Amino acid sequence: MIKFDEVHKRFPNGTTAVHDLSLEMPEGQITVLVGSSGCGKTTTLRMINRMVDPTSGTIRLAGKDILESDAADLRRGIGYVIQQSGLFPHRTVLDNVATVPLLLGWGRKKARSRAAELLETVGLAADAGKRYPHQLSGGQQQRVGVARALAADPPVLLMDEPFGAVDPVVRTQLQDELLRLQKDLAKTIVFVTHDIDEAVRLGDRIAVFRTGGHLVQCAEPAELLARPADDFVADFLGAERGLKLLSLSTLAGLPQGPAPEGGRWELALDSARKPLGWRDGDAAADSPLLPVRALRDGDSLLSAVNESIASPAGLVARVDADGVLTGVTARAEIHDHAGEAHISAGAAA
């Protein structure tokens, strides 16, 4: 969908922000650009909607050289989301989202009804539309920013550190929301972050840059984690690279056995057979239960490793979609499986 061919950007002050970049961003996928500060991610992004023009090289969008398009026309097909949401402070949230449809001549009523629909799509209550941006939390403002970028239904979405300014819990919610939206919308998304966990979570492909605007490696997350191209990429991925890889596999397929009975640890269940906690047979009868975090098949192998360490019984409780116990899996089994998952990711890469 987007193709960079030997693209170079040198600013008038002599800084080379992007160095001979050749990179493809496939249609309907999320390509994440990562790298430390100043390595050229934002410049790369802004060249796609012609906020910055390359010094040399070609960028094609759906096969067409973007320099041949009128910049305003080009931008109509490209949504843009930035860190501070960039909302107009004196317009209501609804009117902020309706901005582009109004510019496209949709008429006020249609533009507003589209805006209201989008606010719901991004998980905001209808009354949020009547408020002004400063009356919303940072996370809510980011949702409005996403809604506004989607307003004209552009095939391409550029997102520059969109969730950088919110706390980790809200950030995870926004990431989940984006993945949920993307399942239905299948936009071509280019997403800039310097958070490698965010990149692994969101990216279909991850492009790692280093200072001077050099692309070092572009690969699917599992390949990147299993086979970093060099020490720079390995360092950037961090010492927990093996654990991050486990975040990409799920528990599905891991055998489970019956919950233990008669030993020291017993799983307390409610009347619907949902796990309540671990009962310690050696403790006084009225002792509180120890916490259990039951996992579903779709949960990651990383959360299973974590729970297997946290579980006093060394067992992970497994539940179905309704939270009802299906069985337990032992710590050793999970660790063996995690090791195998790691080896096969390396071999497949």
Ligand X SMILES: Nc1ncnc2c1ncn2[C@@H]1O[C@H](COP(=O)(O)OP(=O)(O)OP(=O)(O)O)[C@@H](O)[C@H]1O
Given candidates 10, 38, 57, 214, which one binds ligand X under the rule CB under 6 A?
38
11 lies in the binding site for ligand X (CB under 6 A) = yes
Q: Does 41 participate in binding ligand X (rule CB under 6 A)?
A: yes
Under the binding rule (CB under 6 A), the answer on residue 21 touching ligand X is: no
Q: Which residues ranging from 187 to 216 are in contact with ligand X (CB under 6 A)?
A: 194
> Which are the contacts of 230, defined by CB distance < 8 A and separation ≥ 6?
216, 217
Q: Give the Cα separation of 342 and 229 in Å (integer).
A: 17
- Are 35 and 41 contacting, i.e. CB atoms less than 8 angstroms apart? yes
Q: How far apart are CA 128 and CA 140, in angstroms?
A: 9
Which region among 32-40, 78-86, 279-287, 322-330 touches ligand X (by CB under 6 A)? 32-40
3-class SS at 181?
A: helix
Check residue 140 for interaction with ligand X (CB under 6 A): no
Phi, psi of 165 (to 5 degrees): -105, 15
Are the CB atoms for 149 and 81 separated by under 8 Å?
A: yes
Residue 166 beta carbon to ligand X: minimum distance, rounded to whole angstroms: 17
Q: Kindly determine how many residues on this chain lie close enough to bind ligand X according to the rule CB under 6 A.
A: 13
Strands 78-82 and 275-280: unpaired
End-to-end CA distance of the chain: 24
The closest alpha carbon to 303, from 233, 258, 232, 248, belongs to 248
Whole-angstrom Cα distance, residue 160 to residue 140? 17
Residue 14 C-beta: closest distance to ligand X, Å: 8
Q: Which amino acid is at 285?
A: A
Start-end of H helices in 105-137 = 108-121
- 1, 2, 7, 17: residue in contact with ligand X (rule CB under 6 A): 17
In the list 2, 32, 34, 43, the residue contacting ligand X (rule: CB under 6 A) is: 43
Backbone φ and ψ of 295, nearest 5°:
-115, 150
Shorter beta-carbon distance to ligand X: residue 66 or 245: 66
- Residue 97 within binding range of ligand X, rule CB under 6 A: no
Binding range to ligand X, per CB under 6 A, among 33-41, 88-96, 100-108, 111-119: 33-41
Q: Does 15 bind ligand X (CB under 6 A)?
A: yes
Give the range of 36-44, 91-99, 143-151, 222-230 binding ligand X by CB under 6 A. 36-44
Residue 53 interacting with ligand X (CB under 6 A): no
Shortest Å distance, C-beta 78 to ligand X: 17
* Residue 80 beta carbon to ligand X: minimum distance, rounded to whole angstroms: 14
Q: Which residues bind ligand X (CB under 6 A)?
A: 11, 13, 15, 17, 35, 37-43, 194
